Structure 1
Amino acid sequence: METNENQTYDQPKKTKEYIIIGVLAALLLGSIGYNFYQHQNNKSEMDLMEIDLKDTEQAKIILQNQLDSLTEQFELSRVDLEVKDSLLSKRDAEIFDKQKEIQNILNKSNVSESELKQARRMINALNADIARFKQEIAVLQQKNDSLIVVNDTLRYNSFKLGEKANIQKQKAEATEKKMRSTFSVSNYQITGLRVRNSGKEVETDKAKRIDKLRVSFDLDPNEFAESGEQEIYIAIYKPDGTLGKFTDASPGQLETWSLGSVEYSDKVAFDYTKGTKQNVTFDWEEYDFPKGTYKIDLYQNGLKIGQKSLSLR
């Protein structure tokens, strides 16, 4: 699976791919458009070449109709034009000037054959100019559409990155809050106890006389730990290194930050008052305690908060 860093690194590469695709699409569209308009131009030129210029009145009517048709095409192209640049503005002005010049010739009452020939030549040129104008609009529009796709993609990627960054920020804040709310332990003690018939408890470190081990520690005041029920996980290790179990306990596994998954013997639940110092005590009994060293670890929020050992002789 890719990491966030790799995904972030891939964004410029993906953007370049979108741009390349957009440019290639624009070039392809421009090429198709050019071939189409070139074919139309050649057909129009052939039609105009068949005009009998000696019949000036009829030729004048045909040329005027052709000019009107080209003018209409040109105006429609200008209406559809959504993207303007300096080149198209120059083409626009040039075409408009040619239209006026041709119209001036056709407006003459006694137009000559040579003037009609000039008008025909100019209409053919105008036809080619308008075709080129349409082609340039199509290419420019396609490029603009491609840029829109790229910009939308960039905005989407930016949004997703921002969303991921926000999720990471929330996780970091949650982790920081959990770390701050983790207790620190003081006065951590493990005591061997013998219980006399009278019920009196006497401290001892002789294994054969011990009836139970008492674990006691203080939770230092913590302003970040909320009031209410809290839990601390207990892992008791026997002298042979195996995990000790309590009677009626709830053992299990715990995920830690640095040690991975660890087993625990039981968990101790207690009510905590925010910002106060609190003592926690529990006993491990009903076990035949052999000689050796016993180790008891304390965990909270995936962190080891206490470790203590007791040697019995």
Structure 2
Amino acid sequence: MENQKNNSNLKAIIAILAVLLVGSLVYIFKMTSDAKALQTELTTTKTDKASVMKDLEELKATYDAAIAENTSMSDELIAEREKVVNLMKELEKSKGDAASLRKYRSQYFALESKMKALVAENDQLKKDNQVLTTQRDSTVMVLGEAQKYNEVLVGQNEELSRTVEKASKLNITNLQTAAYKLRSSGKQVETERARRADVLKISFVINENAVAKPGERTYYVQVIDSKNNVLGEKKTEAFGDKSLTYSFLTTINYENKPVQVTQDLPGENFEKGTYFVNVFDKAELVSKASFTLK
């Protein structure tokens, strides 16, 4: 009887120990499983945080590249890039739990969508600018060719104007001068003696020129004696930066036909020697001759 009782007690103790062992094993298994699950969650969370950060860095790099192109959208691109930078700073400081990562991931998708729209618009602007640049270059080239053509025309016109101006100049020919003595009867008698001379008669011919413009023409006649004195009126006329002292002037009405000009230059006590006669069209010398009085 006693032995049966001891056996019963032993079995009860063994049963209790078995239950405790099973409970311990179950607890240990659960703890191990929870630890693994926690480790897995932490690892996953860390990986997700790094993934979001990487996506944000790529987003920022895309904005940097677009901003570097310096288009008209640069200000808007810079503002959006700042949002990405601020989100990266917030993510860096966060604990990285699942809820916050979902929030950051959601914000990233919103920023990515905005970035795609802005970059597409920026690319279109670049294409438009390229087209405008090509059109501008083409226009500049056309204008350059037109300018060259105009310069050629201007040069030709200037050359033509110079040719016409040159062709329209009136030629003075047959410039002659003779000394005369006035008799009491009024008759003029030609002389070569200085002491007998009372007047110098100067004549020249303005030739026909069909190209020249009709109208009044004035010529300045300068007579210089052997002592380099200007005879006659001795008036001085300025033509720009040039001046001319002349003996007399004569004005004729030119009608594209030859004109004979003759005018007397009175004087007294004419010097012996060589005289010089010059005819000027304003400041331009157009004819010259000389004669001698004995």
User: Smaller-chain TM-score range?
Assistant: 0.5 to 0.7
Cα distance, 1:299–1:176 mapped onto 2, change above 3 Å? farther
Alignment of 1:1-313 (within 5 A): 42-50=85-93, 54-55=97-98, 59-80=101-122, 82-84=125-127, 173-246=160-233, 250-254=235-239, 261-274=243-256, 276-300=257-281, 302-313=283-294
Offset at 1:40?
6.2
TM-score, normalised to structure 2's length?
A: 0.58
Cα distance, 1:44–1:155 mapped onto 2, change above 3 Å? farther
Between 261-270 and 159-168, the greater mean CA deviation after superposition? 159-168
CA distance in 2, matches of 1:181, 1:301: 15
CA distance in 2, matches of 1:312, 1:27: 94
Cα distance, 1:192–1:298 mapped onto 2, change above 3 Å? same
CA-to-aligned-CA distance 1:162-212 (integer Å, 9 cap, x gap): 999887776655444332222212221101111111111111111111111
Contact 1:179-1:301 within 8 A present in 2 as well? no
Identity of aligned residues (%): 18
Cα distance, 1:162–1:234 mapped onto 2, change above 3 Å? farther
RMSD (CA atoms): 4.5
Aligned length: 221
TM-score, normalised to structure 1's length?
A: 0.55
The unaligned stretches of length 5 or more in structure 1 are: 1-25, 86-139
SS at match of 1:209: coil
Cα distance, 1:152–1:228 mapped onto 2, change above 3 Å? same
Cα distance, 1:160–1:188 mapped onto 2, change above 3 Å? same
Offset at 1:217?
0.8
CA distance in 2, matches of 1:184, 1:76: 79
CA distance in 2, matches of 1:152, 1:70: 40
Contact 2:236-2:244 within 8 A present in 1 as well? no
Contact 1:192-1:203 within 8 A present in 2 as well? yes
Cα distance, 1:301–1:160 mapped onto 2, change above 3 Å? farther
CA distance in 1, matches of 2:246, 2:139: 52
Cα distance, 1:230–1:198 mapped onto 2, change above 3 Å? same
The unaligned stretches of length 5 or more in structure 2 are: 1-66
